[in-house]
Structure 1
């Protein structure tokens, strides 16, 4: 495949595709993971091919790229999808800021930062195509995010020098070695952990150095727990109150309306990522009443949601998903994989509880809508949105077409 063409342009016309699909004797619900990050933002994966290899080994047949602030990984993701016969979804993620909710102290889907709103776009054009204005907004977001991260490295170096801890870091070198265009706080935590392991050869020596870096606080994670150590580094040094913390400038965020406009301009379907319960059955202010959340999302012309089932209790997940499915929403699931922890690719609810067939079917149907949308856009047709509004009354047709698109790709 060339960088300038989508594989969906080689597919038959919708009528022919649907006729072909009706002849296929299969009612199997595929295993789908519609939200993974790649090294183009921050990821558990070392390279774009890794999630495909793992997905193949676990029987997952649909994967969705969902990097922060970038579509840079799309073409390689497309190549890997064809190579491994795993259907690709082309998504993106942003952090928006709803100023009115921030001022009111209302937490949306970030439990620690009122007003901050994670927001995704599903089924963008591939190869990526958007207006010059949208491309510039993404570039500005990347540069502002990187500026903050570079400042964190400066503060970190000053803190280490002041405390006679003989480690120093070069931000540009770290970005070149560990990141792509987007250099994130998690890369700094990764760099610190690697530096400690290189400086000290024993577990005792490493623990002692971590304790010094943490200002005398004892490291809690096992020394071989990479994800745990990097989270401790972030919490002790890089979060609010930490020695290397740098607050985000308001310029680092677009409004939710701007994010939605950008996603639609790039061909995507606006999608709200639901946090749902996060430990002890707690909820954010924005999500605690699903009826209110439904009304709020509809008022913003958002008719798609996604969840990360692994952080939710099964009965809460099931009740919530059924409610939004009954209200005509496109619903998809993923794993994120945006920490160093290499969790399974096959999705399950909190505690490793398997998703039941009803949840898998809902995820399959939501994925099919996105698949049909991608196929139609690639062939110059209108997708699931008309003037930015979801065609909820045509959802069933999109599901059938999308199932055919997925099956055709997997049969190539």
Structure 2
């Protein structure tokens, strides 16, 4: 196995070993342990296998409970597993400034991922209790939204009633989120009302006389509309998130590092209009800000982004020594391809496919080195281990190749 060295130029292209193949990677997929387009983890690996994805990263909110099953299926399908996690936190200083980071609707709020956590998962106290408290806060809020939804259903004379225990039993595993409530309601409505006309009348009543705009034969369209009409800010079943629902970003980074992972900033990048949040608008300023905050890894969900703009940002960060990964999330009812694409279903080009694989190799190397009691891509204090990505790419390539063969 290769060893870490300090003398590789970070901007030099990866010299692929003779006969090496650039593998398809999806480094960010949610499972039913948070919310997922998939019914179970096996279904995730089946689709990955069909689309020739050879490296797959679990990335659930607040939870590592799916790791064991994910690891088992990875072994069965010979698809290399990356063990990740995701949090939603807040940076108070950014909030006070009104600065929008990677949540365009909420100043100071930050999505933060951890890449390459320890497997089996291990989290010391008080961190384990703090993560569990956050999960309970999420469930408490969703339970209140469910209660408000039941009141609305009663007010329009419907005998449909939602039950938290039933949602856990049928649709959720470790965490219930508002998407689960929308799914449960859509299923009950579709079971009770078969025709489009009946469904139209029901939702018109539920939406205070407003005609539904969703395709009432589409699971995805209806669930998305239920969320928008009932659960968003200002709507009748909305419940505001309390202060306890968001940990400080500093603490989230400590939790990720304690769990053996790499603190990672999920970069929104360009939206459909080509706009960026204030925090992300200038990539050179963003690079400096992330390094000042001791964050040395970013990830993209390319189906949000224009291919050329994505490439501009992704290559810039990689060439400046920042780990870059790509994923699809699958954190909605939409069953999009498992193979990573950019906005409009445009495939990654060869350079981005190579970059995607190299990024996954760095995470794989980090996991491997940590499992051997060594320092990985980042040290326990979050600082970079060395000044080059390439030695980790080489180690990770060996680890992945041995696993899938």
Deviation at 1:103, TM superposition (A): 2.5
1:252 aligns with 2:245: yes
For the aligned residues, what is the CA RMSD?
Answer: 1.5
Q: Structure 1 residues 392 and 235 mapped into 2: Cα distance closer, same or farther (>3 Å)? A: farther
For 1:47-105, what per-residue CA distance to the aligned partner results, in whole angstroms no more than 9, with x for missing partners?
01111100110111010000000000001000000000000000000001112222222
Gaps of 5+ in 1: 1-12, 16-21
1:312 aligns with 2:305: yes
1:391 aligns with 2:385: yes
For the Cα contact (< 8 Å) 1:273–1:306, is it kept in 2? yes
Q: Secondary structure at the match of 1:63?
A: strand
Deviation at 1:175, TM superposition (A): 2.2
Q: Distance in 2 between matches of 1:127 and 1:308?
A: 26
1:294 aligns with 2:287: yes
- Give 1:64-103 correspondences, 5 Å limit: 64-103=57-96
Residue of structure 2 in register with 1:19 after alignment: none
Residue of structure 2 in register with 1:350 after alignment: 343
User: Equivalent of 2:193, from 197, 200, 203?
Assistant: 200
Q: Secondary structure at the match of 1:224?
A: coil
Residue of structure 1 in register with 2:12 after alignment: none
Q: Distance in 2 between matches of 1:297 and 1:183?
A: 32
User: Equivalent of 1:185, from 158, 178, 185?
Assistant: 178
Q: Distance in 2 between matches of 1:309 and 1:260?
A: 24
Q: Structure 1 residues 291 and 138 mapped into 2: Cα distance closer, same or farther (>3 Å)? A: same
Residue of structure 2 in register with 1:6 after alignment: none
For 1:218-264, what per-residue CA distance to the aligned partner results, in whole angstroms no more than 9, with x for missing partners?
22121222222111100110110111100000100100100000000
Q: Structure 1 residues 394 and 243 mapped into 2: Cα distance closer, same or farther (>3 Å)? A: same
Gaps of 5+ in 2: 4-14
Q: Secondary structure at the match of 1:381?
A: coil
For the Cα contact (< 8 Å) 2:84–2:117, is it kept in 1? yes
Number of residue-to-residue matches in the alignment: 393
Residue of structure 2 in register with 1:44 after alignment: 37
Deviation at 1:184, TM superposition (A): 0.5
1:401 aligns with 2:405: no
1:176 aligns with 2:176: no
For the Cα contact (< 8 Å) 2:29–2:327, is it kept in 1? yes
For the Cα contact (< 8 Å) 2:2–2:391, is it kept in 1? no
Residue of structure 1 in register with 2:159 after alignment: 166
Q: Distance in 2 between matches of 1:224 and 1:312?
A: 29
For the Cα contact (< 8 Å) 1:55–1:346, is it kept in 2? yes
Deviation at 1:114, TM superposition (A): 1.4
For the Cα contact (< 8 Å) 2:325–2:356, is it kept in 1? yes
Q: Distance in 1 between matches of 2:307 and 2:375?
A: 36
Q: Secondary structure at the match of 2:84?
A: strand
User: Equivalent of 2:113, from 102, 120, 144?
Assistant: 120
Deviation at 1:26, TM superposition (A): 1.9
User: Equivalent of 2:56, from 39, 52, 63?
Assistant: 63
Q: Structure 1 residues 103 and 159 mapped into 2: Cα distance closer, same or farther (>3 Å)? A: farther
User: Equivalent of 1:234, from 227, 235, 239?
Assistant: 227
Which structure has greater helix proportion? 1
Q: Distance in 2 between matches of 1:175 and 1:246?
A: 20
Q: Distance in 2 between matches of 1:300 and 1:133?
A: 23
TM-score (norm 2): 0.94
Q: Distance in 2 between matches of 1:370 and 1:40?
A: 22
TM-score (norm 1): 0.93
Q: Secondary structure at the match of 1:271?
A: strand
- Give 1:252-291 correspondences, 5 Å limit: 252-291=245-284
Deviation at 1:161, TM superposition (A): 1.6
For the Cα contact (< 8 Å) 2:295–2:382, is it kept in 1? no
Q: Distance in 2 between matches of 1:14 and 1:23?
A: 14
Deviation at 1:25, TM superposition (A): 4.4
1:366 aligns with 2:389: no
